[in-house]
Structure 1
Amino acid sequence: MILIDTNVVLDVMEERYPHYAASATVIDQVVRRNVIGVLSAHAVTTIEYIVARHADAARATKIIEWLLVRFQIATVGKAQLVRAQSLRWKDFEDAVTAAAAETHGCNRIVTRNISDFTGSPVDAYTPEEYLRVF
């Protein structure tokens, strides 16, 4: 079970090159059910906001509907926020992502920003690393 970070989803939804190909392949593995994909609850709201701002609300709604059918959602509540605080990272949002992955039972995080997950309770991989190793 892998938690896919916000930036990987946005690589695909916004066709961000040169990151698009590897990120799309990881998401395709979730779509094909080769792996269980998870998004943190706060990632969903961030994705909706960014897509609505760069495209339009209708496209954002369709993307969120698509994601909700294909991905599990990792809860972000008090337990995850307390756990994130205990990590004492500079970037609280990344700490919340790691805590959500941990409490949801994910064994990997796929992100383009692995340096932000140094010391994570769940190992982090770039999309390229994930595809090469798994």
Structure 2
Amino acid sequence: MTLFIDTDVLLDLILAREAFVADAAALLALVEYGRAEAVIGAGAVTTIHYLVRRALGGGAANEAVDRLLRIARTAPVTHAVLQAALQLKWSDFEDAVAHEAAVAAGAQVLVTRNARHFREAALPICSPREAIGMIEGRSGGGSG
């Protein structure tokens, strides 16, 4: 299963956001164990580096990006992706770009905590916890 993981979920893990870190960590662990493939938006990488550098310093930002690049494939934000995102006419262009990058990268599901931002998405949208359930149910393993 190929999951496009939205920036919010990645930041939940990296910044250890208390209410959300457990699900984000569990999801990324399944990816690291090869139970699913992760795709992240190329633009998200610079956003994550910037926010982590401001919160935790440059070293932590570099480590976070290095880890992400080792476990996830990046979805390019091409001219065509940007044009397709504009055509969606969503109120949040960044979300439209993420959606179109996910579609172009062949993601089967878009994982986010902000499902309401993707109401008109062509892809199925799920939370990290729902994605974990899908992965575990699909592979027949897990207890959750």
* Fold conserved between structures, TM > 0.5: yes
User: What amino acid is aligned across from residue 28 of structure 2 in structure 1?
Assistant: I
Q: State the shift of 1:131 in Å.
A: 2.1
Q: Residue 76 in 1 paired to residue 68 in 2? A: no
Identity of aligned residues (%): 34
User: Which residue pairs with 1:99 in the alignment?
Assistant: 100
Q: What is the TM-score of this pair, normalised by structure 2? A: 0.90
Q: Give the secondary structure class of the aligned counterpart of 1:11.
A: helix
Q: State the shift of 1:119 in Å.
A: 1.1
* Aligned residues: CA RMSD: 0.9
Q: State the shift of 1:49 in Å.
A: 0.4
Q: Structure 1: 5+ residue runs without aligned partners?
A: none
Q: State the shift of 1:69 in Å.
A: 1.1
Map of 1:1-134 to 2, 5 A cutoff?
Answer: 1-134=2-135
Q: Give the secondary structure class of the aligned counterpart of 1:51.
A: helix
User: What amino acid is aligned across from residue 109 of structure 2 in structure 1?
Assistant: R
1:82-112 deviations in Å (ceiling 9; x for gaps)? 0101111000000000000000000101100
Following the alignment from structure 1 to structure 2, what is the Cα–Cα distance between the partners of residues 79 and 122? 18
User: What amino acid is aligned across from residue 55 of structure 2 in structure 1?
Assistant: H
Following the alignment from structure 1 to structure 2, what is the Cα–Cα distance between the partners of residues 132 and 35? 12
Following the alignment from structure 1 to structure 2, what is the Cα–Cα distance between the partners of residues 132 and 30? 13
Following the alignment from structure 2 to structure 1, what is the Cα–Cα distance between the partners of residues 10 and 51? 11
Q: Which has the larger radius of gyration?
A: 2
User: What amino acid is aligned across from residue 18 of structure 1 in structure 2?
Assistant: A
Q: State the shift of 1:130 in Å.
A: 1.8
Q: State the shift of 1:58 in Å.
A: 1.1
Q: State the shift of 1:132 in Å.
A: 2.8
Q: Structure 2: 5+ residue runs without aligned partners?
A: 136-144
Structure 1 stretches of at least 4 aligned residues deviating more than 4 Å after TM superposition: none
